Structure 1
């Protein structure tokens, strides 16, 4: 009887250890197969696509026929969170795909991206103009790289009304875009970032322009104000191709 009791106890211990082993194994397998991504959800959802890009070389009559190169791009927020797109790099390439020069949009003397922060589904525009030196004579293509940074505050998308494309003969051909911006929320927008994407009659992207330093935009709550966009100088030989403009305007929401 005593021997039987010892045997039964040994069997129970064996089964118990086996059960513990299986439990630990299952726990380990579960940990391996369901290990969560440690990145914040907003970081996983940040995504921006360069939907259009173009560049031109031209002689800018407004500054004494100095040869210039100007690059434009449209950046669309295809993610699920609002992002800051100022961390964007423009690279000039030669015919063999070699790098001639790179420029960071966040380090230009004047703002080169507007709006700099965009909500999901919205578009920002890049416009960088530089004097043509020896470096730029061999440019045959450009590359635009965006590293979007998620933001954790709200954005106020402003609606544009009565948008008009104005073409003049100044400096061999010039262009600016006018209209009104409406603030629909019960909160002021002291600093508004705006841009006009320029398109031809077939809706092909041609370029973009921003407000000048003397045309900064601000709005009171539930108010509207006029705007004028025209910086940087647009290539005079491309003015005739512009058919319409798409306005993007954004302001930060204050909690």
Structure 2
């Protein structure tokens, strides 16, 4: 399990002061004037001080699956990166500005995700998990020379949350079909299905397909041929 943490420090100005009004003799008024001057000086010093409050952006990646493969159907080479990430910090964040870099066995960069990454839900609340899916064309590189893929997180704090949508699903080959338990706006929904083997190990993630107001079928991105036979079950997330 890989853990990544970020800490943001926010300075808050704290002003404090204490004023009193008393009546009495000239001596007591003189003493009071000196006390007031000291109080005003202390208040001015305190008004320029700041207290640092920590906002923790922490996340873990309990499961990651990466592939370099040639599609049996199209003959096109693909690089695939799938992950489950969990917000273990204390504030919601977005990961859509992050990127994935792919390396060969010579530790050379062979591809970088150029259009961001697909994350569902896009706003990850504390304690919540999200599905990450990224894929790029392999190009001239051989799948056998692929070494690794690395997620470069760029979390951004947010102050709102998404509403989870209930679904009923079924798994058919390398596609997840189902219905929404209530009618939704297809343009406002974000969803993906993670595919697992019989030991609940992540194999890949589907995050696109055909979505209507009442039903859906997820079958994209291209799924690695080597993992198809191991698919046992799916878990679907949907939000709006």
Deviation at 1:240, TM superposition (A): 0.9
* 1:35 correspondence with 2:31: no
* 1:68 correspondence with 2:78: yes
Deviation at 1:154, TM superposition (A): 4.1
**Which of these two proteins has the greater Rg computed from alpha carbons?**
1
Equivalent position of 1:117 in the other structure: 122
Query: Aligned partners of 1:47, 1:128: CA distance in 2, in Å?
Result: 25
Q: Which moved more, 1:225-234 or 1:145-154?
A: 145-154
SS of 1:241's equivalent in the other structure is: coil
What is the TM-score with the length of structure 1 in the denominator? 0.67
Q: Aligned residue pairs: how many?
A: 213
Equivalent position of 1:211 in the other structure: 208
Equivalent position of 1:166 in the other structure: 172
Query: Aligned partners of 1:45, 1:25: CA distance in 2, in Å?
Result: 32
Question: CA 1:80–1:227 in structure 2 vs 1: closer, same or farther (change >3 Å)?
Answer: farther
- CA-to-partner distance for each residue in 1:198-230, whole Å, 9 max, x for gaps? 111111111111222xx1x243xxxxx222111
Deviation at 1:13, TM superposition (A): 7.2
* 1:58 correspondence with 2:57: no
* 1:202 correspondence with 2:207: no
Larger proportion of helix: 1
SS of 1:238's equivalent in the other structure is: helix
Q: What is the aligned-residue RMSD (CA, Å)? A: 3.5
- CA-to-partner distance for each residue in 1:21-74, whole Å, 9 max, x for gaps? 587458747964x5254x9xxxx36554433222112221221x2332222222
- CA-to-partner distance for each residue in 1:109-131, whole Å, 9 max, x for gaps? xxx51436234214132131313
Equivalent position of 1:4 in the other structure: none
Query: Aligned partners of 2:40, 2:70: CA distance in 1, in Å?
Result: 76
Deviation at 1:245, TM superposition (A): 0.7
Q: Unaligned regions of 5+ residues in structure 2, if any?
A: 1-25
Question: CA 1:21–1:159 in structure 2 vs 1: closer, same or farther (change >3 Å)?
Answer: same
Q: Unaligned regions of 5+ residues in structure 1, if any?
A: 1-8, 107-111, 168-174, 220-224
Query: Aligned partners of 2:87, 2:159: CA distance in 1, in Å?
Result: 15
What is the TM-score with the length of structure 2 in the denominator? 0.70
Deviation at 1:100, TM superposition (A): 3.9
SS of 1:35's equivalent in the other structure is: strand
